[in-house]
Structure 1
């Protein structure tokens, strides 16, 4: 039997952190699944799914906790593999950067019953000006019966400067 785990890791950024986590996972016959890892400010942060034989689960969790000796905090959550129903698509959202964009977009998605599967965002200077542009790619599961046009209109109604496109 296999147990699915979701690991979140954070620590001061330095060489060898991914290798340390992957070594511990492999030593316990864990299978590294989906992951997102990034340098944010001066920290290394990541999230990863791991499938591990049930009999190795507790030893793996203990070994991951021992990584605190290298300054890496690891949190472990038990999970079940699950698929989302409905159409899956990726939205590109771009607009002038301001406080609250992610909150407003996530409120609209929630009201439409759309599940956020993945969200990546960044800010960059706008071409030919010093204004900052907010950019996000959001993978969602859109519930059956909700049209793409309804989704685009709802997000664009947040502000006249938000541009929403479906990424092919």
Structure 2
């Protein structure tokens, strides 16, 4: 069994997910995990598919042939140890350029491994100020958590971090 990681981007249009899922099913692929988004008029998605080795190449060829969608496909090694997150950070701050870099740098320098980051931008209800929000899953040694929290709090006065375990 092969595990394919498929990254797709193209102008958003109705039916793209149906097209992807139809092709995957046609080649007896099993849609495992995905993250699909509409971003500034574009469809962007990442999908993991399990598929029998004998169907992999036909599936790859058909996915790469979807008109208007650019797909990059990599063969994953499914026997790697499963990465689990042991901390979830919910971050809220006034939006500004570089905030993702600041947060990811702190996580990296505190020996954390960023597993998943989902972010959004919205306007504050009363002020109209742009607000950055992110939910970040990380793997980090328990002994490093206090240092991580301290370093995150030093990024800016307006940055709030709620921490929980998954």
Q: Tell me whether the two structures share a fold, i.e. TM-score over 0.5.
A: yes
Q: CA deviation at 1:129?
A: 0.2
Task: Provide Cα deviations, 1:127-146, integer angstroms capped at 9, x if missing partner.
Answer: 31021111001111113532
Q: Deviations over 1:32-88 (max 9, x none)?
A: 111110110011111011111111111111011111x2x111110111233126x52
SS in 2 for 1:146: helix
Segments ≥4 residues shifted beyond 3 Å: none
Figure out how many residues of one structure are paired with residues of the other and give that number: 163
User: 1:167 Cα deviation (Å)?
Assistant: 4.2
1:152–1:165 CA contact under 8 A, matched in 2 = no
Structure 2 residues without counterparts, runs of 5 or longer: none
**Matched position secondary structure for 2:150:** helix
Superposed displacement of residue 12, structure 1:
1.2
Alignment correspondent of 1:92: 90
- Aligned equivalents of 1:102, 1:51: Cα separation in 2: 32
TM-score by length of structure 2 reads 0.92
Mapping for residues 6-155 of structure 1, pairs under 5 Å: 6-67=5-66, 69=67, 71-81=68-78, 82=80, 83-84=82-83, 88-147=86-145, 149-155=146-152
CA contact (8 A) 1:89 1:142 kept: yes
Output one character per residue of 1:90-135: Cα deviation in whole Å (capped at 9) or x when no partner.
1101111111000011111111221111111111111310211110
Q: CA RMSD in A?
A: 1.4
